[in-house]
């Protein structure tokens, strides 16, 4: 319950902060998203890897916030990728807005696990397979969820997380 309250407070507070803090809040959200996803058994093996494509600020924040933490019995590991070609298997892939997700989505999905959560920050990214997409609406940072994309990847979204999303696409 505390985590849900924290997420709600952050959602209200984010619009009031400077753009330099947006990465911090996106990384906080990203770490909290994983707790509200139903993961298939294959995602629960080995380390829990969160890959970040072309956003060193998000990667740095994730490293600071996840240092020494576990997700269940798995160690949380942050991998930073500087290009689409570097991307390897991970449970979560955070794709920066500096990457043309619509153009590279097929390549990215071929490189990551079949049950990987893809988080993006580009308008229209859910049309190309993203499950969670950060968007700005009326100068407010929000996120949208695409349930069908999650189901296609073998992931289930908690109703608690769905209730906090700005838009849920079926």
Q: List, as one string, the DSSP characters of the chain.
A: -HHHHHHHHHHHHGGGS-GGGHHHHHHHHHHHHGGGEE--GGGGSS-EEEEEES-HHHHHHHHHHHTT-EETTEEEEEEEESSGGG----SEEEE-TTS-HHHHHHHHHHHS-TT-EEEE-STTGGGGT-SEEEEEETTEEEEEEEHHHHHHTT-EE-HHHHHH-SEEE-
pLDDT at position 5, please? Answer: 41
Q: Express each pLDDT in 1-45 by its tens digit.
A: 444 444 444 454 444 445 568 888 899 999 999 999 999 988 888
Q: How much is the pLDDT for 127? A: 94
Give the pLDDT score at 18.
54
Q: Quick one: CATH architecture of 2-169? A: 3-Layer(aba) Sandwich (3.40)
- The domain limits of the chain are 2-169
pLDDT for position 12: 47
Model pTM?
A: 0.85
pLDDT for residue 72:
85
Per-residue pLDDT tens, the chain, 170 aa: give them: 444 444 444 454 444 445 568 888 899 999 999 999 999 988 888 999 999 999 999 999 999 998 878 888 899 999 999 999 999 999 999 999 999 999 999 999 999 988 999 999 998 999 999 999 998 888 888 899 999 999 999 999 998 888 877 655 54
């Amino acid at each position: 319950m505390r985590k849900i309250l924290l997420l709600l407070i952050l959602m209200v507070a984010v619009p009031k902060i400077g753009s330099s803090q947006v990465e911090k809040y996106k990384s906080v959200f990203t770490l909290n998203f994983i707790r509200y996803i139903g993961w298939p058994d294959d995602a629960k093996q080995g380390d829990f890897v969160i890959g970040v494509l072309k956003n060193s600020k998000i990667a740095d924040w994730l490293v600071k916030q996840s240092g020494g933490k576990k997700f269940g019995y798995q160690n949380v590991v942050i991998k930073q990728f500087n290009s689409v070609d570097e991307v390897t298997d991970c449970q979560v892939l955070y794709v920066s807005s500096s990457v043309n997700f619509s153009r590279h989505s097929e390549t990215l999905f071929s490189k990551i696990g079949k049950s990987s959560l893809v988080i993006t920050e580009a308008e229209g990214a859910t049309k190309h397979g993203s499950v969670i997409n950060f968007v700005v609406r009326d100068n407010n940072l929000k996120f949208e969820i695409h349930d069908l994309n999650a189901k296609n990847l073998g992931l289930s979204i908690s109703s608690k997380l769905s209730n906090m999303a700005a838009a849920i696409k079926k």
